[in-house]
Amino acid sequence: MEEWKVERRKRGCSACERLFASEEDLYSCIVEAEGSFSRRDLCLPCWSRKPFEIFSYWNTRMPLRRERKLEDIGAMVEFFKRLVSAPGDEPRRGKITFLVALLLMRKRRLKLAGSRGASLLVEQSWDGEVREVPEPAISDEELQGLRAEMERLFESECAGEEVSLPHFS
């Protein structure tokens, strides 16, 4: 038996090429053409016209499309540089440093180089230097507040607003 794969859902209608809206109902179908199967996704108006001979079909819905927040990676890197260049003893500063380090690891600007006790060793992509970032205890409630503060900060910078970075005493 020959193996075959069915493609993933497309972002738009296979017939009229209109992009599907978030949570829009649609039909997905399998069509046979030239001895092979392929997938087609159709909006409801095109489905009523059935522009292809359909082998099999199912009703589905586009997933909820969440708005992506722009992230200014450059601003995050600069913020991290400022945090580690003048470390302080304030617990809140350490928590924010750790969270920014995690974000930069996700964005591949920092790479995990190991650990030392309760600290992460991270390698900076821009200069190869390895930094030690202590891993603080952060409660769920505290995490939500820190996350909201960081989002506000970076959204403001992405929008071009003049925002001063938080100062820690």
Q: Mind listing the pLDDT tens digit for each residue in 19-31?
A: 999 999 999 999 9
- Identify which of 7, 25, 26, 24 has the alpha carbon closest to the alpha carbon of residue 15: 26
Q: Mind listing the pLDDT tens digit for each residue in 91-133?
A: 888 888 899 999 899 989 999 999 999 999 999 999 999 999 9
Joined together, the tokens standing for residue 150 give 């960081």
Asked whether the whole model's pTM tops 0.75, one would answer: no
CA atoms within 13 A on the CB side of 156: 12
- Residue 16, number of CB atoms within 10 A of its CB: 12
Q: Indicate if the pLDDT at residue 162 is higher than 70.
A: no
For residue 75, what pLDDT band results from cuts at 50, 70 and 90? confident
